[in-house]
Amino acid sequence: MTQITLRRPDDWHLHLRDGAMLRAVAPESARHFGRAIIMPNLVPPVVTGDQAAAYRDRILAALPEGSAFKPLMTLYLTETTDPDDLARAHGDGLITAVKLYPAGATTNSASGVRDFDRVRPVLERMAEIGCPLCVHGEVVDADIDIFDREAVFIDRVLDPIRRATPGLKVVMEHITTAQGVDYARAGGDRLGATITTHHLVINRNAILVGGIKPHYYCLPVAKREEHRLALRAAATSGDPSFFLGTDSAPHVDPLKESACGCAGCFTATNTLSILAEVFEQEGALDRLEAFTSLNGPRFYGLPAAEDRVTLTKGAPVAYPAKIDTADGAVTVFDPMMPLHWHVTP
């Protein structure tokens, strides 16, 4: 196969930031994607409906002239989230989902949840109104090894939440383990999982072998090879539980290349070419559209895109090593392999 046409992909987990960074990275996602779930971990976070509306307007203003890209907004769940404000924002179509960050788990998560019992009433309300919860699934306990944080979260936090509020729709964001794959696969219609592009490509060696490579550091951190293989099997299986959420997360280079570097891989620019390469390697190009364009809208109860993109195989794709922003350069994820799939338009 040298050409494949897909319904226009959506990105079910994306960081666009704000200000100069937003203006630089929004066009990178809008070039190929139709819609994206926009993460609310700004400083300060997007916690109210009014803040989500204002952020949506800033995103729309940052898009290229004539772009049809649709940001699907989220609220950042805190222990003081007002369920009425949330329900109003969801009812008005202003927000598509709510994001749960365990406090301290990742970038700008300080306002997240410490005591999960305190958000029980909000989760009940979300179940009633059909508002999905997107979960950053890592415990933050100092005694849990960072490579075990996802698996422990499933047992100690996620499974109890889902048992207590069975009507709640949950997305396990950016799963990185075979345990995450197994749990998502067995979870039925109300459980989905996003998988990033970079976790299909790198394992933890990419970060640590031959010198420390900060541009491969993200959270949840990439795991052992066996987990990467489980993620590749899940993503390429066609199983509707799994869909693309790039977690493309730009940080300017000085904040990555630092004694205490930020977590995040910036993949918006070359994500689709990388995915085509991965699916081709797995002999699953015919299931790429399910992962990028069908399973996500199905989970969220939204129509699949009507327009299409075409990928054509040819000479290696040229893409920039860095994106310039008024705040500084952002390094584009290097998949450590040539990419041959060109995306049009």
Interface residues toward Zn ion, by CB under 5 A: 247
Smallest distance from the beta carbon of 174 to Zn ion, in angstroms?
6
| Alpha carbon distance 154, 27 (integer Å) | 35
Residue 107 touches which of Zn ion, ligand DOR, none (Cβ within 5-8 Å per kind): ligand DOR
Q: Is 41 in the site for ligand DOR (CB under 6 A)?
A: yes
Q: Is 8 in the site for ligand DOR (CB under 6 A)?
A: no
Query: Which of the residues 159, 247, 327, 334 is marked catalytic?
Result: 247
57 is catalytic: no
Site of tokens 């910036």: 266
Within residues 77-106, the interface with ligand DOR by CB under 6 A covers: 106
Q: Is 107 in the site for ligand DOR (CB under 6 A)?
A: yes
Within residues 255-274, the interface with ligand DOR by CB under 6 A covers: 263-264
| Alpha carbon distance 81, 89 (integer Å) | 12
Smallest distance from the beta carbon of 339 to Zn ion, in angstroms?
23
Smallest distance from the beta carbon of 15 to ligand DOR, in angstroms?
5
| Alpha carbon distance 192, 189 (integer Å) | 7
Flag whether 288 is marked binding.
no
Pairing of strands 308-313, 3-7: antiparallel
Residue 206 touches which of Zn ion, ligand DOR, none (Cβ within 5-8 Å per kind): none
Smallest distance from the beta carbon of 58 to Zn ion, in angstroms?
19
Residue 269 touches which of Zn ion, ligand DOR, none (Cβ within 5-8 Å per kind): none
Q: Is 218 in the site for ligand DOR (CB under 6 A)?
A: yes
Flag whether 16 is marked binding.
yes
Q: Is 331 in the site for ligand DOR (CB under 6 A)?
A: no
Q: Residue numbers of the site for ligand DOR (CB under 6 A)?
A: 15, 41, 106-107, 136, 218-219, 247, 249, 263-264
Q: Which sequence positions are flagged as catalytic?
A: 247
Binding-site positions for Zn(2+): 13, 15, 99, 136, 174, 247
Binding-site positions: 13, 15-17, 41, 99, 136, 174, 219, 247, 251, 263
